[in-house]
Structure 1
């Protein structure tokens, strides 16, 4: 059975922090592959993504093309509506019955887990890989027991980059070269993404 890590999010835009997180999880948890799944509308974020799903998906594809263990799926974009992880996992399990899945999340999201849609049913189907970052405190003891038992914690190298900061820098006319993969940087410039 293939072990697959799921990297979900808006990827608005994808940046090197996402790639480092995925590779760290892949190495430490012996994952065969990591699948990047851009969301259509994220359930726990106030604002919808600033760039279309098609463009975010194309940036993800460009960012991961050099890593044979990375793959992009557009199933949440195709489904539309609010992108619930539970619905995505059910669809993945239907399509790929010989795979086991783990959601890769940053430590800033660990204490949000109880708010996830149908979290008890989701936790019964998959495991979670929590990437510990010193900048994002969390309290594993505050989680319900059914979640504590389903999380593996691994240390994440310190990379202080966010999609929000990247959008702000572009809007202010500042460079984001080296914060995003070259293919994403070129794509953003070609389509003038996030510019004021």
Structure 2
């Protein structure tokens, strides 16, 4: 009787085979999402459609390093609102890597972590045109641009010119911001049609942003 021995693929060969496979293309939209609004959803949908991405990850930050004296509501509130915002879209999901890690959220550290967990994914990191000129100040930007593809969405009066590789995506200019929403809540004004209904109901039920302490002037 002859025993048949299965072919064994050496780890180096397996790694090369995996590396040759087409990578999944996934976008990342980061921010404080304080609160999330329809502008965030429109940007994500437009980028996904125009670049043919498989999925968009909404990634709430714990403590963004580029914001000075950063204050925001508790991460648990932002996480719930974001989850409620994307639940009806199968191509949207929430990535909580930065919330779990805590502290200052450097994009470089996050991408290293995500790529180690998902070597088969090519990530597209979405930023606003207003952030393009500041890329030179990002932590380990020279290494970062070799790990992730930056995608910049247009904003009025901002240029996309930069020495770094950035894909420009044209999206509708929707003049909605988290700052505007927080101010409207504080002033007792309606935020209907500015945020998903679930977010509007959550803000009301929890009494968020109604006092001076919660209305902190954070743009996103």
TM bracket (short chain): over 0.9
1:192 equivalenced with 2:207 (yes/no) = yes
> Normalised by the size of structure 1, how large is the TM-score?
0.93
Q: Structure 1: give runs of 5+ residues left out of the alignment.
A: none
1:155 equivalenced with 2:170 (yes/no) = yes
> CA separation of 1:136/1:68 partners in 2, compared to 1, >3 Å: closer, same or farther?
farther
- The equivalent residue for 1:137 is 158
What is the CA RMSD across the aligned residues, in angstroms? 1.0
d(CA) in 1 for partners of 2:160, 2:128: 13
Counterparts of 1:33-112 in structure 2, within 5 Å, are 33-112=55-134
d(CA) in 2 for partners of 1:195, 1:136: 32
d(CA) in 2 for partners of 1:104, 1:139: 13
Structure whose CA Rg is larger: 2
Q: CA offsets, 1:64-110, max 9 Å, x none?
A: 00110001011101101100100110010011111110101111111
- Is the contact between residue 152 and residue 160 of structure 2 (CA under 8 Å) also seen in structure 1? no
- Is the contact between residue 160 and residue 168 of structure 2 (CA under 8 Å) also seen in structure 1? no
d(CA) in 2 for partners of 1:163, 1:115: 24
- Is the contact between residue 10 and residue 49 of structure 1 (CA under 8 Å) also seen in structure 2? no
Q: Structure 2: give runs of 5+ residues left out of the alignment.
A: 1-22, 212-220
3-state secondary structure, aligned to 1:59? helix
Q: CA offsets, 1:14-47, max 9 Å, x none?
A: 0000000000000011100000110000111124
Counterparts of 1:169-184 in structure 2, within 5 Å, are 169-184=184-199
- Is the contact between residue 12 and residue 49 of structure 1 (CA under 8 Å) also seen in structure 2? no
- Matched residues, number: 189
d(CA) in 2 for partners of 1:136, 1:18: 19
- Is the contact between residue 39 and residue 76 of structure 1 (CA under 8 Å) also seen in structure 2? yes
- Is the contact between residue 5 and residue 102 of structure 1 (CA under 8 Å) also seen in structure 2? yes
d(CA) in 2 for partners of 1:128, 1:45: 20
d(CA) in 1 for partners of 2:153, 2:160: 13
CA apart distance, 1:136: 4.0
CA apart distance, 1:139: 4.9
3-state secondary structure, aligned to 1:124? coil
